[in-house]
Amino acid sequence: MTNYFRTDTKQNAFDSLEKAAFFLGKTNEDINWCKWTIIALHSALYGFMVCALEGSAGFSTYPDYVTEKLLKFYSLPPENRQKNGKFPEVKLDYFWSLYEKIKSPTHMNKYYNSKTFVPKNNIDWNINKLNKIRNEFLHFTPKGWSLELNGIPQIVDDANEIIGFLVFDFGNISIQPDEKSLAQKMLTELREESSRLAASLGTQNKDGKAEEIAVVEGVTHGN
């Protein structure tokens, strides 16, 4: 047992993907595991988007204003950097901003074999819903809240598709052969558990939408 916990960008993303598959598999015992599935899946997709966009300096993973401050700082002569203020505070860009960036050639075409992600069908809608549901769970305000589960398998599958693209197809993430095998195993497990959940919900085509009903102080609000 070590006294330190250490991780890095890629390991963090892999760990979240592993946990998403594990938690989804537990939903047949207790549907509350669905909450942790959403949180872990969001973390996995967020993490792999960071891996895809970081490049050599990480600029594409930051909000534009942070990148501008960094570039201004680095443009100063070394002897003037300390005089002109401390190193700019680095902040990760928002989930949805990174999602838009993986669809942008400006941010994604870093190498000769790089590709951008092109969403199909309702992927944009489902990833937006993943982000909203995750935020609802993490920043839970006082209320009663119900979530229609029929759309969850499709959200899982769409996130799975994007992660698969980022890991195997688009060319920006340095992945070793053993990591590719591990990623394929995790994505397959996640897809299988998603199909199991869809069958148990009676949504074999998995084209439903995860709708929310929030009840605040006795007033029902559809989102």
Distance CA 12, CA 14 (A): 6
3-class secondary-structure state, position 107:
helix
Q: Which amino acid is at 37?
A: T
Q: For each successive 10 residues of the chain (223 residues), what is the average pLDDT?
A: 87 96 95 96 97 82 84 75 73 95 80 79 93 95 89 94 90 82 95 94 62 48 50
- The pLDDT assigned to 73 comes to 77
Segments making up each domain of the chain, as ranges: 9-222
| pTM for this entry | 0.86
Sign for the pseudo-dihedral over CA of 183, 206, 210, 137: negative
